[in-house]
Structures are given as C-alpha cells and as structure tokens.
Amino acid sequence: MAISYDHIMSLKSEGTETSYGDRETMLYALGIGFGRDPMNEAELPFVYEGVNDPNYLKTVPTMATVLQWGGGAMRDSGINYLMVVHGEQRIQLHRPLPSAGTVISDEKVIGAFDKGAGKGAVIVTEKKIRLKGTNEPLVTLISSTFARGDGGFGGPTAGAPEPHPIPERAPDATYETDIIPNQTFIYALSGDRNPLHRDPKIAKLAGFEKPIIHGLCTYGTTCRAIITNVMDHASEKITGYDVRFSSPAYPGEAIAVDVWKDGNIVSFRARVPARGVTVINNGKCTLSA
C-alpha cells in the first residue's frame, strides 16, 4: 500500500497507557552503555536500584523515546518499513523522568514531506506523554522518519523542521565512546525489535552490509557521553535533547562526540573516525538554569 497524503495526515493514537518499573529503567541504561565498569560509583545509580533508598535510581532523559513503544499513530501509515530509517529525534522534558510509573501518550502525524520518486519521504510525528492520575505533562517527542522507499506520493516538498546549527568554531572538547558488538541485542529489549539491527540477512535485504545500530541507541549513547563528561552525571538537568541522524553506525565501532558549550546549550555531533563519517549531527542538549 502506497502512502496517501490525506490518510497519513489523519493518523493519530490517543490514550495509550504504559507502565514501567526499575527493571526497564536499568535495562535502558545498560542498552546505551552504562554500567560496563561495576566499580564506577558515579554510573551505579543508573543501573542499580540501591538499598532502602527509593530515590537512588536515576533515569537517562533519552529513555523518554522508549516509554511507549510500537504501534501508535504510524501503525496504518502504508510505508515500507524495510526501507525506513530514523531521520530526526527531539524531546522536550517538562520534568525529570521518574524511575517507575504509569504514563499515557497521545500521538499524531504532524507532517509528511515528499522528496520525490526514488528519493523517499519524511514523516513527522508528535507524541505527548503525561503521568496517569495527575495528567502532569512529562515529555513531548517530535520524531522524523525517513521512508526511503515511499517518495513520489504527491505531498509537500518543503516545511520539515529545521535542524539546530552546529557552531562554526572548533569543538570545545571531544569525548571518545563506543558501542560494544552485542549492544544492539541489549538495546532491542527496551522495545525496538526491528530485525534490521540484529539479523544479517534482513540487513542485507535493506541494503546494509551487516546489521546497523538502532539510531536511538546511538542517540542514547551520545547522551551518556554528555552526562558523563559534561554534566558530572547530573542527568536531571537535561530538559531537551535533539539530533539529526546522518549515517548509520555499526556495532563495535568507536565513536567520537564533539561538543560545544554555550550557556545552557550543549551542541554536539558524533563521528566514526575509522570511517570518516558523521553518524549524528546538529545535536542540541538543553540544560536547566
């Protein structure tokens, strides 16, 4: 089924309820690389619930992207999911994520942009997540999906969100990190079971030499690098985290995260030096005052 502009712009999902606990919070942190050194006491609160302290466990802000996974507004979109990659991800946190809770999400398609036949399409969705009971806003997510096989459907060609500009000066600092060879298998347990990231045969059908890392796993990995190196592990200070995905990374690769600090804005990009490619660009991490 091909994309119909009117149909895809009508898609929405309301009142989806999801509960999560400390298990999911710790599993997400492990999936983006926290906890590799069991003697690192600064990272311990992200992967360990503590003893007799309900406030010990900390959350990674980018966990917002997996609080409610699957289905949603894009369930009946008509796009070819074998040819889909993540384009952009933006989150705005209205308060720090609790380490456990029940949340309700409302999602809708807010844009569909036609790059042309053979050039793909960009679909933009907005998801608002609130706490059950109080209806307190928790986080707003804006996601762009690049559907490589679905261009030429007759939608608008312009109007997609503009990316955050990276400063033109040299980076203030560069931090080295990596994604271990089996990390995509751990990350998949947070919700994204797309076989593209784990099955070599599926990856080849999609045009990749081997399984690629989930874009949102790389996204979380850059957040780990910033939390660790820029913020002294004060993850609760992050109120926004936006990126553009520019190229896939592969399990086992070393990643260099370039950062620029300007007031409460940390701009960043992530590169794979061994291949000379940028995998995440136009990064913007917003901090509370």
Q: What is the DSSP string of 20-34?
A: E-HHHHHHHHHHTTT
* pLDDT category of residue 70 using cuts at 50, 70 and 90: low
For 92-130, write each residue's pLDDT tens digit. Answer: 999 999 999 999 999 999 998 988 887 788 889 999 999
Predicted confidence at residue 147, as pLDDT, reads 80
**pLDDT grade, residue 85 (50/70/90)?**
confident
Q: What is the mean pLDDT of residues 16-24?
A: 96
Distance CA 25, CA 278 (A): 29
216, containing H or E segment:
helix 215-229
| Rounded Cα–Cα distance for residues 36 and 34 (Å) | 6
Residue 35 reports pLDDT greater than 90: yes
pLDDT band, residue 286 (cuts 50/70/90): very high
CA-wise closest residue to 28 among 130, 74, 97: 97
Average pLDDT, the chain: 92
List the one residue out of 246, 232, 217, 280 whose CA is nearest residue 31. 217
Q: How far apart are CA 104 and CA 18, in angstroms?
A: 6
Q: Give me the mean pLDDT over the 23-38 stretch.
A: 97
Distance (Å, whole) CA 160 – CA 144: 9
Confidence of residue 198 (pLDDT cuts 50, 70, 90): very high
pLDDT of residue 206: 84
Higher pLDDT: 29 or 118? It is 29
**What's the rounded Cα separation, in Å, for the pair 217 and 188?**
9
Q: Give the strands of the sheet with 137-147, arranged side by side.
A: 12-20, 101-114, 121-131, 137-147, 84-93, 238-245, 277-287, 265-272, 254-262, 173-178
CA 238 – CA 63 distance, rounded (Å): 12
Q: What is the pLDDT of residues 230-247, one digit of tens each?
A: 999 999 999 999 999 999
Number of domains in the chain: 1
User: DSSP code of 69?
Assistant: -
Question: Does residue 1 register a pLDDT over 60?
Answer: no
Nearest to 237 by CA among 247, 251, 226: 226
**Domain housing 113:** 5-287
Active site residues: 192, 197
CA distances from 58 to 21, 26, 31, 129 (A): 12, 9, 15, 19
Q: Is 52 exposed, middle or buried (0-12, 13-18, 19+ CB in 10 A)?
A: exposed
Contact indicator for 255, 247 with CB cutoff of 8 Å: no
- State the pairing for strand pair 238-245/84-93: antiparallel
> Residue 205 is part of a domain; what is its CATH number?
3.10.129.10
